[in-house]
Amino acid sequence: MLSVKEAQGKILNFKIRVKKKEIPIISSLGLVLAEDIISSDDIPVNDNSAMDGFAVKAGDTFGAGKISPKKLKLLEEDIPAGYVPSAVLKSGYCMSIMTGAPTPGGCDCVVMKEDTKKEGDCVLVYKECRAGENIRYKAEDIKKGSMVLKKGKEIYPADIGVMASVGISRVSVYVSPLIGIITTGSELVDVRGKLTAGKVRDSNSYSLSAQVKEMGTEYIRYGIVKDDKQALEEKILEALAECDVLLLSGGVSVGDYDYVKDILIKIGANLVFWRVNQKPGKPLAFLTYKDKFIFGLPGNPVSVMVCFEMYVRPLIRKMMGSSRLFRKTITAKAACDMDHKKGRANFTRVIIKKKGDDYFFSTTGMQGSGILTSMVLADGIALFSEDMGDIKKGSKIEVYLIKRG
């Protein structure tokens, strides 16, 4: 049986040809940049005020204090945002200026309005102002011709703001794959269905859809298919005609009604591997069909989510053009002794706590593959690898952080 790393290697070794498309920046959140973003402007385009207040010469404010204000003559021309002043400031004078407005020639600092008082056509300044204070200099954020965002970067809200600030309204991104989701099992009822004896509500198509959605890519839910060979074949062919990656939940183990793998092979899919030496998720199957990828995920609700995290998500990220395929990991110490049978990898759902400089993990409680609440509680998935025996308190383990934020 394959080890976790071998199975991941087999999936991620496939060469992927990522396509590009140009879209409005507002639609690019979560996607990956397919071009470098170069600024054709200095940002800001000119020196400007960081405060509402008065444009002054720093030297004129020296010695100013609460009981010894400096008196400056106020020029009639004021400077609202967006207006370019015509006056040049001379010693002994000041100009009223608003946040973001261009500073006038001769001015080397802006006194906050809160540190002044108007008196007739003069302004009393109650605080010294250093040269450069409250001025935002031309190009201090972004220099004309500089690279602001690099190709291959995942797009976050601030990136979209930065692109807008340098005048980019449309951006080239990698095309994300379309993911198809089919859940199989004669025991399954829809979320609105009544839970009578022997029935199970289909949660997997929801958790999988949400895991895909969280990645910023699109999916189609094909609903529940009974353990029926013909119905399965029809639905699988329908999904493969539309999607780049097909996720099937259930029916991939050794049960009498587990038809998924056989049907996929029958329609011409190539079985890359079946079964991984791991818990949960041992019956995981991975296949290719033309240029498409298929995962046969074990039906247990935790197995489905863990296998998505460890195998499906990295492949989708690769298909999205990202170079960071896996979740961030930390090394955490076991908060207590934990049982682990050597010879098989275990994905333990854990809660992380920080004490001093160290991270400690403890399990979320019951670890059965049907205990979906163990995923709800989990900050991360700790990988107890095949070669580890019982985990001693304080041992260091790699934990994949699965929660956002």
Q: How far is the CB of 238 from Mg ion (least distance, A)?
A: 20
Q: How far is the CB of 296 from ligand AMP (least distance, A)?
A: 9
In the complex with ligand AMP, the residue whose CB is nearer, 70 or 349, is: 349
* Distance (Å, whole) CA 129 – CA 122: 17
Which residues have a Cβ under 8 Å from the Cβ of 296 and sit 6 or more positions away? 248, 251, 252, 260, 261, 264, 274, 283, 284, 285, 286, 287
In the complex with ligand AMP, the residue whose CB is nearer, 93 or 259, is: 259
Q: How far is the CB of 250 from Mg ion (least distance, A)?
A: 4
In the complex with ligand AMP, the residue whose CB is nearer, 107 or 371, is: 371
Q: How far is the CB of 5 from ligand AMP (least distance, A)?
A: 24
Q: How far is the CB of 256 from Mg ion (least distance, A)?
A: 10
Name the site residues for ligand AMP (rule: CB under 6 A): 183, 185, 187-188, 200, 202-205, 249-251, 253, 255, 298-301
Instruction: Please tell me whether residue 251 binds Mg ion under the rule CB under 5 A.
Output: yes
Residue nearest to ligand AMP (CB): 299
Instruction: Please tell me whether residue 85 binds Mg ion under the rule CB under 5 A.
Output: no
Instruction: Please tell me whether residue 380 binds Mg ion under the rule CB under 5 A.
Output: no
In the complex with Mg ion, the residue whose CB is nearer, 128 or 187, is: 187
How far is Cα of residue 241 from the mean position of the Cα atoms in its chain?
Answer: 29
In the complex with Mg ion, the residue whose CB is nearer, 125 or 252, is: 252
Q: Which does 92 bind (CB under 5 to 8 A by kind): ligand AMP, Mg ion, none?
A: none
Q: What is the CA radius of gyration of the chain?
A: 31
Per DSSP, what are the bridge partners of residue 380? 350, 401
Instruction: Please tell me whether residue 301 binds Mg ion under the rule CB under 5 A.
Output: no
In the complex with ligand AMP, the residue whose CB is nearer, 330 or 372, is: 372
Q: How far is the CB of 220 from ligand AMP (least distance, A)?
A: 16
Of 70-78, 242-250, 266-274, 370-378: span binding Mg ion (CB under 5 A): 242-250
Residue 310 three-state SS: helix
Q: Please, which of residues 23-52 interact with Mg ion by CB under 5 A?
A: none
Which value, to the nearest 10 degrees, does the dihedral of the CA atoms of residues 83, 143, 157, 36 take?
Answer: 140
Instruction: Please tell me whether residue 298 binds Mg ion under the rule CB under 5 A.
Output: no
Question: Both tokens of residue 160?
Answer: 């979209």
**Residue ranges in 113-197 assigned as alpha helix (H):** 157-165
Q: Which amino acid is at 344?
A: R
| Cβ(207)–Cβ(305) below 8 Å | yes
In the complex with ligand AMP, the residue whose CB is nearer, 153 or 199, is: 199
Which residues have a Cβ under 8 Å from the Cβ of 172 and sit 6 or more positions away? 20, 21, 22, 33, 34, 35
* Distance (Å, whole) CA 140 – CA 128: 24
* Distance (Å, whole) CA 277 – CA 392: 22
Per DSSP, what are the bridge partners of residue 294? 246, 287
Q: How many residues does the chain have?
A: 405
Q: How far is the CB of 274 from Mg ion (least distance, A)?
A: 16
Instruction: Please tell me whether residue 185 binds Mg ion under the rule CB under 5 A.
Output: yes
Instruction: Please tell me whether residue 250 binds Mg ion under the rule CB under 5 A.
Output: yes
Q: How far is the CB of 33 from Mg ion (least distance, A)?
A: 41
Q: Which amino acid is at 222?
A: Y
In the complex with Mg ion, the residue whose CB is nearer, 19 or 229, is: 229
In the complex with ligand AMP, the residue whose CB is nearer, 226 or 327, is: 226
Tell me how many degrees the CA angle 211-216-219 measures, rounded to the nearest 5: 65
Q: How far is the CB of 299 from ligand AMP (least distance, A)?
A: 3
* Distance (Å, whole) CA 97 – CA 72: 14
Q: Which residues bind Mg ion (CB under 5 A)?
A: 185, 250-251, 299
